[in-house]
Amino acid sequence: MERVSAVLKDPRLKAETQARERRDQLRKILYSGFDFSEMAKRSLGSQWRRLSPQEQGEFVQLFTDLIERAYIDRIESYRNETFRYPKEKLDGSFAEVESRIVAQKGEEYTLLYKLQLAGSEWKVYDVVIENISLVNNYRSQFNRIIAGSSYQELVQRMKAKQVNLAEGSK
């Protein structure tokens, strides 16, 4: 979060003309700390094992794009919030880091980052925001779509959302 905060406070990146550079820097920070493959796998649940390696790769890319856009948009909305880290819990190759975001008006939000050791680095595989798991939330949405129609329908909806978001940012 310190690296994110430094990017957001950098005066040369504040201008709207620098949005692409700012987002590129935020994206690098996200990619260095998040395990999007693991998040995608957990979000798809049991359906994951039924996919070919090629389908898994496509899903990871679609999921990563979805999370990246949502997370970066949210991060860019931060303005002078303070971040605290009151608690950490380590259990072998898994860890949880509780963070608190304190907004300017005093509101406080709790985020719990769930991490696992990937090689020699800790990577986030889930974010629990105010007791709502990002992975579980997506899993229930994805399962509902798959149960109501098919995995292919889920992929089509994700691709359509990707196109809509891309057109909206132009």
Full residue range of the structural domain in which residue 32 is found = 2-168
Q: CB–CB of 56/38 below 8 Å?
A: no
Phi-psi region of 24 (alpha: psi -120 to 50; beta: other; left: phi over 0): alpha
**CATH code at position 20:** 3.10.450.710
Residue bearing the bigger pLDDT, 76 or 89: 89
Q: How many domains does the chain have?
A: 1
- Give alpha helix (H) positions in the chain: 2-9, 19-33, 36-44, 53-76, 134-148, 151-168
- pLDDT of residue 168 exceeding 70, the answer is no
State pLDDT tens for residues 4-25: 888 888 888 888 888 889 889 9
pTM: 0.85
3-class secondary structure, 109: strand
Residue bearing the bigger pLDDT, 148 or 165: 148
Q: Which of 49, 62, 30 is nearest to 127 (CA)?
A: 30
State pLDDT tens for residues 56-65: 999 999 999 9
CB neighbour list of residue 89: distance below 8 Å, 6 or more residues apart:
95, 96
Q: CB–CB of 39/114 below 8 Å?
A: no
